[in-house]
Structure 1
Amino acid sequence: MKPWDIRTACERTGDEQTLTRLPSTSTSLIFAVLPEGVTRLLVMGPRTHAAYFPRKDSLLTVNAQFRPGWARTFTGVPVSELTDQVVPLGDLWGKEGDRLHDALIADPANAVGLIENALSERVTEDPSSALVHEATRWLSQERLPETARRLHVSERHLRTLFTGAVGVSPKRFVQLNRVRKVLSQVGTQKGAQLAIGSGYYDQSHMTAEFRATMGVPLSRYLAGDLPADSVC
């Protein structure tokens, strides 16, 4: 299995003129061609809060989202340095990143293949990435001490390794994924049932964490009453 998935960069919600970039524990490599012909080749780090901005059409957007634990292998820097940041790939890869950008500009119809090839050339065996990826599987089910024991490492070592590889601490990783789970289940559950099903102690716990992460209470979010636009 490849340590990345190709997918759309931005997720849409609310009224049709507003795009929402949800909080995420993932890091992505994004290539976009805008209507005016401007292109961008960027690395978007983990996002600890939602962002809202006016809808902006693009002619093409390709998003290579790295699987948990693998982003550092491809970015070349601790992912914690990219948290809540959007950085030109050339700043991380140097001339190699600039050459990829030039190739994408010359052949945007083949963008997926060009990005896949560039990432494939950087794949290396990395035991720490595999360990962190395994940790992400267990942290939604158990606390950090139990996961560390399961993986035969110290809690402190796992926290340090995890934060550098994922960009957020194990605790924040769990929090962000709980909020995303609320959004995925809100159509089938509500109230206390939604809270417990999403991993919260109770409804007030869910309400506080959702508002802190998304910027508005759940009821306002579902009604499309979103915070002021920010820059995409």
Structure 2
Amino acid sequence: MPKPIAEQTLHTPEGLRPWIAGVRTAAYADPPEEALVRLPDAVTRVVLRVTADGHRDVLAVGPRVRASYHLGKAESTCVELGLLPGTVRPLLGVPAAELVGRVVPLHELPGPTPRRLAEELRWLDPREAVPRLEQSLPGLLSTAVDPGRAALLRAGVAALSVRTDRTPAQVREVARELAVSERQLRYLFAEGVGVSPKQYARIDRVRAVVTGAPDTPWSELAASTGYFDQAHMTSDFRSLMGVPPRSYFSGRLPAVTPCRAGGRG
């Protein structure tokens, strides 16, 4: 089984919760003994990265629809701020769909807010980024989040996500429950998440399989994560992870590539 990139989830301060879904740190060191994997991820992130030689980047990292496997990289430390659904355009100046598969220097995005946010974060010690941002983020915003649209979108995200107490709903069921058309739901997701409702659900299910597979039989895992059957789970997993589940968990992986700081990933 490949080695996940080392991450630690931090407490999200109350003052950031209207915009930030979660905060985590990530540490990278060269060379790892095994391939590092980046799982598919439907969250857009703002990342402050500091390398061992002092180089600093503030990046917008868009949703990732397929896994990637990497060799080591120069030692670096990152603080990653996951944006809540519906906050990408107010904070970053673009709809989330424009960032899918991309890593972009934050100051290159349009509008004043990304540039001011990049300036605010760039020279901070990573440990200072979260408390400083809690103080400054409300004053940096040039466009307010639409609370009605954000609430609708987040209800859709919650309904399509895997939970321990229920299987995720189907897209048509979610649209009906929210009293919108499936087309309207797709637009909301493109704008505020970056991927379609169906693609979001696929990513979330595959991530749940990666988390649950070591302890749960395949057929039981397929049922609990919303798949029709084990064959459906295997097909989705292969599409997003590049290999079927048994190959992934036994370490038979696609070719690895060097980690990249920018461009498409």
Which bin holds the TM-score, normalised by the shorter protein? 0.7 to 0.9
- The Cα shift of 1:228 comes to 1.6
Q: What is the alpha-carbon root mean square deviation over aligned residues?
A: 2.5
Report the TM-score, using the length of structure 1 for normalisation.
Answer: 0.87
Corresponding position of 2:191: 164
Corresponding position of 1:18: 35
CA change 1:61–1:143 in 2 (3 A) is same
- The Cα shift of 1:201 comes to 0.9
Task: Specify which of 124, 148, 171 is matched with residue 144 of structure 2.
Answer: 124
Corresponding position of 1:56: 73
Corresponding position of 1:73: 90
CA change 1:116–1:56 in 2 (3 A) is farther
Pair 1:82 & 2:99 matched:
yes
Q: Matched residue pairs, number? A: 230
Report the TM-score, using the length of structure 2 for normalisation.
Answer: 0.77
For residues 90 and 188 of structure 1, the distance between their equivalents in structure 2, rounded to whole angstroms, comes to: 43
The 5 A counterparts of 1:1-232 are 2=17, 3-4=19-20, 5-9=22-26, 16-56=33-73, 58-92=75-109, 97-108=114-125, 109-121=127-139, 122=141, 124-126=144-146, 127-140=148-161, 141-230=168-257, 231-232=259-260
Give 1:64's aligned amino acid.
L
For residues 105 and 187 of structure 1, the distance between their equivalents in structure 2, rounded to whole angstroms, comes to: 39
Structure 2 unaligned runs (5+)? 1-13, 162-167, 261-265
- The Cα shift of 1:153 comes to 2.1
CA contact (8 A) 2:46 2:59 kept: yes
For residues 178 and 202 of structure 1, the distance between their equivalents in structure 2, rounded to whole angstroms, comes to: 13
Q: Deviations over 1:23-73 (max 9, x none)?
A: 011110001101122111101111100011123354431000012333232
- The Cα shift of 1:11 comes to 9.7
